[in-house]
Amino acid sequence: MNYLFLSNIHMADIISPLGDKKNTAMAVIAYILFFVPLLTGDAKKDAFVKYHVKQGLVLFLLAVLINVVGWVIPFYFWFSISWIFSMGMLVLLILGIINAVNGKQEPLPVIGKFADVFKF
């Protein structure tokens, strides 16, 4: 059996089916800390990375909004539904990372369309 060991593959060297190299490592980092790829030289010029930075930024803003609402709504009510929103955020985060690793530029479900608002 042939096994593919991911330790031998550098994420930045993953080649898409079209043959061009995509900076998937920075695209993955964009979902964890969206601003880090904007601080690097090559990544901030890469359209693939910018796309995932925008998706990560929307995900971050949604998390901030959910937490602010959590402070405004009474504790006993918010505590009963906050875990649903947290699980939804986790699912969206995982979907975004999977898209980045696979070299896809697909918007996140429900919130991905809002990333087009940002122009950078």
When divided into structural domains, the chain yields a total of: 1
Cα 50 from Cα 53, distance rounded (Å) = 5
Domain hosting 87: range is 6-117
- Rounded Cα distance, 88 and 97, in Å: 14
Q: What is the pLDDT of residues 28-85, one digit of tens each?
A: 999 999 888 888 877 778 889 999 999 999 999 999 988 887 777 777 667 777 788 8
Cα–Cα distance measured from residue 107 to residue 92, given in angstroms and rounded to the nearest whole number: 10
In a domain, 1, yes or no: no
Task: Check whether 105 has a pLDDT greater than 60.
Answer: yes
Residue 9 pLDDT greater than 70, yes or no: no
In a domain, 59, yes or no: yes
Q: What is the DSSP string of 28-65?
A: HHHHHSTTHHHHSTTGGG-HHHHHHHHHHHHHHHHHHH
Q: Please provide residue 15's backbone torsions phi and psi, each rounded to the nearest 5 degrees.
A: -105, 135
- Is the model's pLDDT at 14 over the cut of 70? no
The predicted structure's pLDDT at residue 82? 78
